[in-house]
Amino acid sequence: MAASDLAVLADVKTWLAGSSGIGSSDDTLIARLITDVSGAITAYLGRPSLTPRPFTERMDGNSKARIFLRRFPVLQMTSLAIDNVAVPAAVTPAAGAPFTKGYLLEAWDGLPPGRPQALDLFHLHFREGRQNVVLGYTAGYAVENESATVPAAPGPYTVTAAAPFGPWASDGGVTYNNDTALTAVAGAPSAGQYNVSGGVYNFAAADAGANVLISYGFIPAAINNACIEWVAERYRYRTRIGQSSQTVSGQMTSAYSLKDMPDFVRASLDPYRAVVGI
């Protein structure tokens, strides 16, 4: 499975199975189709990544106090500079008090698909210029600080991510409730450590009963399902290459679409397309 894949082999095979089931003889073919279709989807969406990753971008100053960021959803601003001068984050004031000098990011509401978010300046403006605004931020679909409790003895000491908006895709870290971070490891975890695979977090017996907060990236369900269905369509297409219809026993005619992207896939993907120029 490629890191950029938007669906897993087992889910595609389940979709294809129907009542007859599907064996493993075409696993390599289906896996390749998943990677190919995933690439086509990300290109259509105009997004290099759906899971959280850092971005550093240059934009033109517009002489205004607001710009919209290219990637969404934005989870955190890490830096802003205008004409090579660093700009601090504004401090949210008490009710009725003015904002301090700096920037403030419009928060994501946590629900897909999201939309381009505004970055506002207080007591400043984005001075007009070519590529004179440099932004650092983290963007991607993520569940942050999902509360969980490590099961008590005798275990197993595992927690499965709830993933309410789509399948788990990447680890974003684990902390105790006091914000102390646990360390991710590849092998068996000790106290203060964890390992994770496919959204299942494994902890040490020493952490039994501990309250933890887990963060992770996910693939929105609409995109995941679109990938599964498009792969299934491409897989079935190999038995009817170039055919737009087929008559069976002279009585029944089946019609097939030859469009580059099925309409049902396009309808699922369109709300997630990047709409701010890159």
Convert 170-182 into a string of H (helix), E (strand) and C (coil): EEEEEEECCCCEC
* Structural domain includes residue 2: no
The residues, ordered by sequence, that sit 6+ positions from 163 with a Cβ below 8 Å of its Cβ are: 143, 199, 216, 218
Tell which of 103, 121, 139 closes a domain. Answer: 139
* Structural domain includes residue 149: yes
Do 131 and 172 lie in one domain? The reply is no
The secondary structure of 96-140 as a DSSP string is TSPPPSEEEEPPP-S-SS--PPEEEEES----SEEEEEEEEEEES
* Structural domain includes residue 1: no
* Structural domain includes residue 255: yes
* Domain span including residue 148: 143-218
Do 127 and 199 lie in one domain? The reply is no
Edge-to-edge strand list for the sheet holding 74-82: 53-61, 129-139, 74-82, 85-86
Do 33 and 61 lie in one domain? The reply is no
Tell which of 139, 174, 191 closes a domain. Answer: 139
Written as tens digits, the pLDDT of the chain (278 aa) is: 677 899 999 999 999 886 555 778 889 999 999 999 999 999 999 988 899 999 999 999 999 999 999 999 999 999 999 999 999 999 877 777 788 899 999 999 999 999 999 999 999 999 999 999 999 999 999 999 999 999 998 989 999 999 999 999 999 999 999 999 999 999 999 999 999 999 999 999 999 999 999 999 999 999 999 999 999 988 887 766 554 445 556 565 454 455 678 899 999 999 999 875 54
C-beta separation of 231 from 30 below 8 A: yes
Q: Which DSSP symbol is given to 206?
A: G
State the pLDDT at residue 255. 46
State the pLDDT at residue 243. 47
* Structural domain includes residue 3: no
Do 187 and 110 lie in one domain? The reply is no
| Tally of structural domains, the chain | 3
